[in-house]
Each structure stands twice: as structure tokens, then as C-alpha cells.
Amino acid sequence: MGKNASRERYYEPNFPVFKAEECAEFISLCEEMSKDLEKLFERKRQKIERAFRKTSFSEQGWELSDITQCLFANMYRRARSSLEQRGLLSPPVKHANGAKWIFWAEKPEPSGRKE
């Protein structure tokens, strides 16, 4: 093999890869927490509607359903930030290009289906 011949290189990811059996350990817990979050959002619906009526969105032709994704995203970001500050979540890592992110992957079942 000459010095310019191609060689195969194998790299391992620098982030966690969850195998199906490992994900199974967390699925029911994640579903439970998801249900809790859904119930909270539902319980706050009347407060959300009252707050919406205090804004000028409806005068501009918007409906509450037009902003609920924004409300949910803000709720999520604030909770994530608080949990990071309290040490319950790892904060995003700053990479050489200046981007901050957390990454993981879920390895599909051998059949190609995710649970």
C-alpha cells in the first residue's frame, strides 16, 4: 500500500448513543413526566386565556392557538435554564465554533424501528 493510499478510519461519537434496551429504562419515566407537563399546561389554560385577553393580539386578528407554541417553548426554556442553574441538568457545552449544544442519539432497533 502506497503512502497516499486511502485507509479506513473508524470514529466513535463524542456523545451518548442510547440503545433500545437502555431507552426502555427511561421510556415510562419520560411518559409519566410528559403527562405531568400536559396536566400543568391544561390547568393553567384559564390563566393563559385571561393573559391573552389583556394583550392586543386578538385586535390584530390572532387567536390564542396562534401563540400557544411560543408559550410552551418559553416555559420549557425557563425550566431548562432553572434546572441547569440548580445543577439538575448539564448545561450545553460550548464548542470550538462557538455553538452551544447538547447532543445524543437513539440507536434504532435492528428492524430499523424505534420503540
| pLDDT tens per residue, range 56-93 | 999 999 999 999 999 999 999 999 999 999 999 988 88
pTM strictly above 0.75: no
What is the C-alpha separation between 48 and 29, in angstroms, rounded? 27
Q: Which amino acid is at 83?
A: L
pLDDT tens track for 10-25 = 666 777 788 888 888 8
Total domain count, the chain: 1
User: 99, 50, 101, 100: which is closest to 71 by C-alpha?
Assistant: 50
Residue 79 sits in which domain range? 17-88
| DSSP letters spanning 34-77 | HHHHHHHHHHTHHHHHHHHHTSSTGGGT--GGGTHHHHHHHHHH
